[in-house]
Amino acid sequence: MSGKEIRTAAGVSNVSPLRGLLAGIFCVVLIGSAEVALCADNTFIILGAAVSLTGKYALNGANTKNGYDLAVRQINDRGGVKIGGTSYKFEISYYDDESTPARGTELVERLIQQDGVKFILGPYSSGLTKAILPIIERHKVPMVEANGAARELFTKGYRYIFAVLSTSDQYLIPAIDLAAEQADKLGKTPSEIRIAMVMENDPFAQDVRAGVLADARRHSMNCVIDDQLPPELNDMSVTLTKVKALKPDVLVVSGHEKGALTAVNQIEALRVDVPVIALTHCDSAQLAKRLPKASQHVLCAHQWHRSLKHKGDLFGSAEAFAQVFEKTYGYEAPYQAAQSAAAVYVFADAFTRAQSLDPEKVRDAISATDLPTFYGPIKFDETGKNIAKPMILTQIIDGEYVVVSPKKWATAKPVIPRPKH
């Protein structure tokens, strides 16, 4: 892709060689406002993204890309962003990081050094985001990311990372809070509740684990199982046998789509009766659709849901985004796609406010973001985390994800304890 781009004098906008040549001829021959307008129409802001189009994160890499593309299309259809009277359209320069951190770092370096990209959109997963952060910092290139949620991304003092999503420690905290709140339904006090944790051994899931542990400690709950799954594991029966033996009140599982799918399938097969089961990555694993019976009454952590009342300038409401996405790509929008679209929106908003293409000025504008969007409010703290948007918890009821927490957004009461299957 880079070969097709030519750099402008400003060094930030690119046009294809053919289009550039045509535009140049017109600009030279017809000096005046008409030509200026034509040049502007052909001016692009290139955003760079190394996402996982192959490898183990290919599914969510595709969700990320679809979210980015949809937002770019929407912004461009509305005329792009206006900077100093000139309209700029977005274009994304993609590379496939093959779901490996080494390839991710290599490609981001290439985007910045060779392709001259000055603005980066994040990859999928905390691990890949963590790998590319030192490069982003070294080149002082602002990055808005939508799929790296581990807290450790925000504790190293990096200045150029901004994340639209809630951090991963918050994913399953609502489930623990809900269990504490409904402890009497389990015939216990909150401090008598026993938790089993089954987490993948990666930065994201380990941060989910840290969040659960901290919240369990706050409620004086006891953690009886703390198993870590290797990423290659496709069988959870050994751990679930332990769960059966120790009979905890809450079972929390985080292991991307594979973890969610394996857990629910084997919980049903082994008849593991735990009153509260909470997972991450339910909707990207299409749990409710693929295993509707086994996933009944499972709690799921979501960054976003179409039923939320969030509204923004781009796309309008959460439901409107979900409809446009479904119409464009033919499947229901997972939150990974929604937050990816929101990341592009943050860039658009920052360019408009900065009225500049200077990376440093754009970075400052991003850090001052205070934006209501279809995805939820976006406002960054000094570390680059979005502190305005809460996590939500849904429960799968008859094949649908129903929001049950927090109360402000809940559309139904949670079914606790989970009826025996």
Partner 1 sequence: MVSNLLILHEAPVLGLQLAIDGLLIGAVFALAAYGMALVWGVANIINVAQGEFVMLGGLVAVYAAEQGAPVLLAVPLAALCLYVLGWILYYTIIVHLVGRDMFNSVLATFGIAIVLQQLMAHVFGGADRIAANGLGSWFLFDGLVAIGKMKVLVFAACIVLGVTLSVFLLRSRQGQAIRAVAQKPEAASVLGIDTKRVYGLTYAVNAAICGAAGALAATAYTIHPYGGLSYTIRSFMIVVVAGLGNLGGVIWAALSLGVAESFAGFIFGAQYQIAFVFTLLVAVLVFRNWRLKRQRRYLA
Rounded-to-integer distance, Cα 293 and Cα 265, Å: 10
Closer CB to partner 1, 257 or 349, in the complex = 257
Residue tagged 């046009």 (tokens): 15
The answer to whether residues 330 and 62 touch, using CB atoms and an 8 Å cutoff, is: no
Burial readout 115-154 (b: 16 or more C-beta within 10 A, e: otherwise): bbbbbbbbbbbbbbbbbbbebbbebebbbbbbbbbbbbbb
Closer CB to partner 1, 169 or 202, in the complex = 202
DSSP state of 380: B
- CB of 195: closest distance to partner 1 in angstroms? 15
Q: What is the DSSP string of 62-83?
A: HHHHHHHHHHHHHHHHTT-EEE
- CB of 303: closest distance to partner 1 in angstroms? 19
- CB of 48: closest distance to partner 1 in angstroms? 22
| Residue 46 CA: distances (Å) to CA of 242, 282, 336, 386 | 51, 33, 22, 24
Closer CB to partner 1, 38 or 58, in the complex = 58
Q: Name the residues that contact partner 1, by CB under 8 A.
A: 54-59, 61-62, 99, 198, 201, 227-230, 232-239, 241-242, 244-246, 257-258, 261-262, 265, 269-271, 285-286, 290-291, 294
Which residue from 124, 210, 227, 215 is spatially nearest to 177, judged by alpha carbons? Answer: 215
- CB of 295: closest distance to partner 1 in angstroms? 11
- CB of 71: closest distance to partner 1 in angstroms? 22
Residue tagged 């394996």 (tokens): 262
Q: Per this entry, what is the length of the chain?
A: 421
The answer to whether residues 312 and 374 touch, using CB atoms and an 8 Å cutoff, is: yes
Closer CB to partner 1, 34 or 269, in the complex = 269
Closer CB to partner 1, 190 or 275, in the complex = 275
- CB of 275: closest distance to partner 1 in angstroms? 16
Closer CB to partner 1, 77 or 232, in the complex = 232
Rounded-to-integer distance, Cα 5 and Cα 25, Å: 17
- CB of 245: closest distance to partner 1 in angstroms? 5
Closer CB to partner 1, 294 or 362, in the complex = 294
